[in-house]
Structure 1
Amino acid sequence: MSRICELTGKGRLTGHNVSHANNRTKRVFLPNLQNVTLLSEKLDRAFKFRVSTHGLRSVEHNGGLDNWLRKTKDEKLSANARKVKRELLKADKAA
């Protein structure tokens, strides 16, 4: 399972461990991913996502899942999140 946030697209980064003697060895920085259930107010449903803690704070700061999906470009979202976004936009047009 890839370590990529479904809502922000945040993934792994590479860098170096640097010793006191300035020896450098490769290392990987992984995002802090959590399995969460987010509620959509417009669709009145719950959706499960694998989201980084930074992404979770960002979603709450922007007014919830519905607003986040409307504002975010499709390229950043996972296939699951794009599907939810399509449902949300379809519900907006119907209303």
Structure 2
Amino acid sequence: MAKVCAVCNKGVVSGHRVSHAVNHNKRTWAPNLRRVKAIIDGSPRRIKVCTRCLRSGKVQRAL
């Protein structure tokens, strides 16, 4: 499974790590994903969701 949020499609972003001497090295930023049980189409399923979507209430959790 990819490192992508199932709700907002937030994924990995790439860029450069820049040192004090302005040397550039490639690096990536990964989203803060949690594996949660959510109600999808009326039935509970496990999906990967970013913490921003969890906090904002975009996901209905299955208890």
Same fold (TM over 0.5): yes
- Count of residue pairs brought into register by the alignment: 60
Relative CO higher for 1 or 2, CA cutoff 8 Å, sep ≥ 6? 2
Query: Which residue of 44, 47, 50 maps to 2:45?
Result: 47
The structure whose residues are more often strand, as a share, is 2
Identify the residue that residue 57 of structure 1 maps to in structure 2.
55
Partner SS, residue 6 of structure 1: coil
Q: Partner letter of residue 48 of structure 2?
A: R
Provide the residue aligned with 1:24 in structure 2.
24
Q: TM-score scaled to structure 1, two decimals? A: 0.54
How much does 1:27 deviate?
Answer: 0.3
Aligned structure 1 segments of 4 or more residues deviating by more than 4 angstroms = none
**Identical aligned residues as a percent:** 37
Amino acid at match of 1:13: V
Secondary structure of 1:2's aligned partner: coil
The residue type equivalent to 1:20 in the other structure is H
CA offset at residue 48 of structure 1?
1.9
Structure number with larger C-alpha Rg: 1
Unmatched runs of 5 consecutive residues or more in structure 2: none
